[in-house]
Amino acid sequence: MTPRFTPGQLHVHSGLDDMVATARALRAVGRKIALVPTMGALHDGHRQLMRTARRLPGTVLAASIFVNPLQFGPDEDYDRYPRPLEADLKICGEERVELAFTPSREQMYPGGPEIMVDPGPLGGELEGASRPGHFAGVLTVVTKLFTIIQPHYAVFGEKDYQQLTLVRKLVRDLNLDVKVIGVPIVRDPDGLARSSRNAYLSDEQRTAAITLSAALVAGARVSAGGAAVVLESARAVLDKEPSVAVDYLELRGADLGPAPEHGEARLLVAARVGSTRLIDNSQVFLGQGED
């Protein structure tokens, strides 16, 4: 269909020009592209995103692997963030990814970025309050990826729920021709949300980290009692584990505005276990119990 692309094979593009040319060629012959943006260190959560994207009809499955420096603060773990590219590409092959975009920092930001995307007020709350500038970096790289790869669909996990919410606002407010699809959190059998940063945890820290998901479950169980009861129950679980340093525990609306008195809401938590910062969240229906 084009000399740049053979269906069913994994094509790895590290250069922007090659990626743009391939995306344009695919669009020219009527193929749709489903993109899974990642920072690599792929795990089962990423596999689920890829499987969701692959089920979209008539699509070419694409994944980007790029550790974005703009979303790391000065005291965060950019330099030690895992970059197992060979293993990541193996997973891409196993999940039948057909396009893998693996640019360098210099290719994405030649000379350093001069233009950034402002995430608005929500970008300074929750994760944004703890990590100033983080979401400007996220939305900037997402905008670049959408421009380069030109996807029809973009698939994101709900574990980074604030990120998902802001990407949806980005697409809406800038009239981008991309449909954003959210995928439920993938968890280990003990409830811990899958994350690339879990690799930093010792066995003892990993056991302590389960407290985050346990707190969310406890809050959801008492959702019929309203917002205050949900937060009190979740906080009580977190307080029992002294090695978990809570950054925030908040209950918000589904769009991360104020929580409603009744209906769908989102319970969010962030905490440090040792030197590793973890986040988690859960859907909660206020005014009614769990199913």
- Residue ranges of the annotated binding site for (R)-pantoate are 71, 163
Is residue 134 part of the annotated active site? The answer reads no
* Structure-token pair, residue 179: 């449909």
Angle at 77 between CA 14 and CA 15, to 5 degrees: 5
With a CB cutoff of 8 Å and minimum separation 6, the contacts of 247 are 130, 270, 271, 272, 277
Residue 287, class by beta-carbon neighbours within 10 Å (0-12 exposed, 13-18 middle, 19+ buried)?
A: middle
Q: Alpha-carbon distance 32 to 41, whole Å?
A: 26
- Measure the CA–CA gap between 216 and 230, rounded to whole angstroms: 9
The pair of three-digit structure tokens given for residue 141, joined into one six-digit string = 């790289």
**Strand, coil or helix: what is 101?**
strand
Q: What is the identity of the amino acid at 74?
A: P
Is-contact 219 282, C-beta < 8 A?
yes
- Binding-site positions for ATP read 39-46, 157-160, 186, 194-197
CA distance 67 to 104: 9
Catalytic residue among 11, 46, 134, 152: 46
Annotated binding site for beta-alanine: 71
How would you write 135-175 as a 3-class SS string?
HHHHHHHHHHHHHHHCCCEEEEEHHHHHHHHHHHHHHHHCC
**What's the Cα-to-Cα distance from 256 to each of 183, 185, 229, 287, rounded to whole Å?**
17, 17, 19, 18
The answer to whether the CB of 105 falls within 8 A of the CB of 82 is: no
Annotated binding site: 39-46, 71, 157-160, 163, 186, 194-197
Residues recognised as catalytic: 46
